[in-house]
Structure 1
């Protein structure tokens, strides 16, 4: 599983990130009609296929199934993972959002493929933000996971910058999910490459 998940709001953002080496794109669009959402998803899927990147659809298992996306990411208020699995079948990836160790336990028990744990710090990307975890929050939850024998890959999310990466990786996180730090950069492709170089010091992109 990739160490860098890029959260795109448009095919254009996905294109910029993929040009910089990103190979895992989560399309997150809000408040658009279903047909427009599907069109955005299909265009983003074309971008991802061109670059050999995985496409994960946020919040919408039915759309992921309809277009044959690589998987779905479920928020805390979304459909339970078991229902999403019933729609998608056994192959596609299912990720879930967590803010507490109890969330992590529930998602692990439901058999998700990865967990997006956050937010690390305040972010304007997401409405109805859960309580900020910070480094101490991650360390506490990862320690509890270790004690409970839970091995689901955990991705940090929420206002993450390149400067945060060494500490986050040292805490035991599998990787990070990033949106604004790449899409708002003067050169998003170059910023994506810098993120990847820091996440993969040996240049073994996964």
Structure 2
């Protein structure tokens, strides 16, 4: 099973850190955020990794290289223009092959055990959901009997963690260019083809200086 890290974001809310450094290379406890994912995926048994990039992306390639130092083979999908999440994944599909793959947002920090995702995918997608953080109190989706669907007032909502397993068939009919992933997931949810799980471990959406400081505190505490 291959894995993909989304690393094309510009990280405007982390300026001035991201003026000359791509967001995935912003450091927490002296280590670039993306390196935590790279090492965790390697420890979970993944050997083939795809990373997309755009803003200052060459720095990511220069830092991680071909992945040999981490026990991985890393391929890169360079984006000349912003493609958003769905478009970025679609562009990278030739590198990912025809089997389901793990997807990880490069701008989160987590101790999720990625080895748990190395199992058959029953539908088109499997999403890891977390409790709604203060900055996203409305959440994204609902989880009922391991199926993910739209959140309703009579059902607690959860937040998509940025960790998933996706089947390439999810992108059937898509065309090259910029588009979002969420509409594809919602279409698959309507067909009952999206499973999910609730993760209660460490997870931070590192989108601001305050949340980067939160990651620093977690690391200082030994988590």
TM-score, normalisation: structure 1: 0.33
Question: Larger radius of gyration, structure 1 or 2?
Answer: 2
Q: Indicate the structure whose relative CO is greater, using CA pairs within 8 Å and at least 6 residues apart.
A: 2
Q: Higher strand fraction: Structure 1 or Structure 2?
A: 2
